[in-house]
Structure 1
Amino acid sequence: MKKEKSVKLYLSYVRIFTQNYPNKDIIYLITKNKDVFVIEWLDDSKACLDTAAVMIEEVEQLAQQSIKDESAIPYLKVKIKNCLENCRSPLDYVANYIFDTYCRNNYTKKELHKFGKPYFPIRKTDSLFDICIRDNFRNLLNSRSDIVDILKSCQQFKNSTWLQDLTSLINENKHRNLTKQNDETHTTIRDLNFTHGGVEIGGISNITFVTSGHTTPIKYGGGNLDFSGETSYPFVNKMDTDVKRYFFFRDLGRPVTPTLKEILEGTRDVIGKLEKTI
């Protein structure tokens, strides 16, 4: 009983502190088994997003590495999964902070016991979003409508797609398997000249071939030509080419890297707005 009382006092102290000093990097509170954990939501969020940015670069590197080494693909999938999770976590960090700072006192102990952990509101329609705010962030609309406006601005019904894409991809990874992807190879031939008996017989220039999977557009002697520039051929006089491999989220039908960048920038934007507001 004594420990429980001290926990309540500590919670009250921190809640007052966050209300009086809203610009401090005080973060959300988690209570479990009468223990209190304080996490600096803003610092942790920025760390997650910086890490996600690095992972996007690594995804791009692994995609190109997979041209020569197919064993890179499982690691590519894991990087994508971790990048998505590092974009999702800051949204839930700030949701917890908002709930503990502005909403927790509006619920009874019994309600809080059943409530569980607050999550960032993600809804497909305006009406469903309003219901979510009413039920899961009680009185937030009355006390801090400016926060609600920011939460609403990134929803799908506000013509913003990144948040719904993030949710779909996270759920795919969590409940089924690592996100399925399609891939295609873009081979750009700036200049390719063929010879026979030391005589130039023709060539190809200024063209890009797009092929499904890891294939090259030209075969010779039953094998694919290597356009990476690392293989020499006696019948090729000049080879100025570039090969890129691109992966697509199968269910979304969208390219992996641009989608991850859009999700990252969307998350940065909403976290930045909330940082200035709360």
Structure 2
Amino acid sequence: MEKLDYAKYKINKLSNEVKSENAPNNKFIKNEINDILGNIRAPLDYFAKHIAKNVGAKAKTPAFPIATGEVDFKNRYGKGINIDDANLRNHFRSVQKYNGSNWLNELNKMNNNEKHQEVNKTVINTVEKVGHFQHKGVTLNNVSFENVGTPMVEKIDGVTREIDITSAAGYKKEVLYRFKYNDREVFESLKEYHTNAVNFLEEGKRIIDKIESD
């Protein structure tokens, strides 16, 4: 699980780093995503190959089965895992796209296509915060203004004037970025893949322990 622990650490670290005006550039994000994907995908392959070589009939061509349909799955499972256990077979079947689960297919596709795609940085939220602000006898404390876009204004006797909050005590401006990859939000996807991979491996280990103890 070391690779998955490292992937989780990098996901959390990177997702926090991008939430600023000084967010890392796209090339850096792209390289980091590639590393994270590898650290999520590798343990799945290792698990499949390890049990295929050391448990049951020992498959000749150990591999994690990723199939397009039931017939294809049975063929790939037989060649890649070759352990005659209904629970284990169903466990591998449960993460197949044709069986209604899409995360593994997305992870695999993202991992394979990473070198040919770009990460697009998009501003999604601008937050201006003030700790203490007085205007027309009204005092505001710890207030946030989101996505104002243009200066706040007031109209007095037909004259429009800007309301300046930048000089208020505790003023702070935050620009939060959203990184998209293959038309999806990067970090939400990576967190989903990581969680599902951990769950798959933990349940897989439980099944293997039972097979070996019987």
Shorter-chain TM range is 0.7 to 0.9
**Matches of 2:121 and 2:133 in 1, distance apart?**
29
**Matches of 2:52 and 2:166 in 1, distance apart?**
67
**Matches of 1:51 and 1:188 in 2, distance apart?**
31
Q: Which runs of 5+ in 2 are unaligned?
A: 138-142, 152-163, 209-214
TM-score using structure 2 length: 0.74
Question: Could you say what secondary structure the match of 2:179 adopts?
Answer: strand
**Matches of 1:184 and 1:192 in 2, distance apart?**
28
1:25: which partner in 2?
A: none
Query: Are 1:129 and 2:73 an aligned pair?
Result: yes
- Describe the shift of the 1:208–1:184 C-alpha distance in structure 2 as closer, same or farther (beyond 3 A): farther
**Matches of 1:137 and 1:130 in 2, distance apart?**
10
Q: Is the 1:62–1:76 Cα contact (8 Å) retained in structure 2?
A: no
Residue number among 131, 138, 144 corresponding to 2:85 in the alignment: 144
**Matches of 1:122 and 1:156 in 2, distance apart?**
8
2:176: which partner in 1?
A: 244
> RMSD of aligned C-alpha atoms?
3.1
Question: Could you say what secondary structure the match of 2:22 adopts?
Answer: coil
Per the TM alignment, residue 206 of structure 1 is displaced from its structure 2 partner at its CA by: 6.1
Residue number among 31, 34, 47 corresponding to 1:81 in the alignment: 34
Q: How does 1:139-178 map to 2 (within 5 A)?
A: 140=83, 143-173=84-114, 176-177=115-116
- Describe the shift of the 1:243–1:270 C-alpha distance in structure 2 as closer, same or farther (beyond 3 A): same
Per the TM alignment, residue 263 of structure 1 is displaced from its structure 2 partner at its CA by: 0.2
2:212: which partner in 1?
A: none
Q: How does 1:1-278 map to 2 (within 5 A)?
A: 46-65=1-20, 67-68=21-22, 72-100=25-53, 101-104=55-58, 112=60, 115=61, 118-138=62-82, 140=83, 143-173=84-114, 176-177=115-116, 179-185=117-123, 186-189=125-128, 208-209=146-147, 217-218=149-150, 236-238=166-168, 239=171, 241-249=173-181, 251=182, 253-278=183-208
**Matches of 2:131 and 2:120 in 1, distance apart?**
29
Per the TM alignment, residue 131 of structure 1 is displaced from its structure 2 partner at its CA by: 2.2
**What do residues 131-179 of structure 1 show as CA deviations (whole Å, max 9, x unaligned)?**
21133334x2xx2121111111112123222111110111012xx44x4
Provide the aligned length of Structure 1 versus Structure 2.
Answer: 187
**Matches of 2:67 and 2:38 in 1, distance apart?**
19
Structure ranking higher on relative contact order (CA contacts 8 Å, 6+ apart) = 2
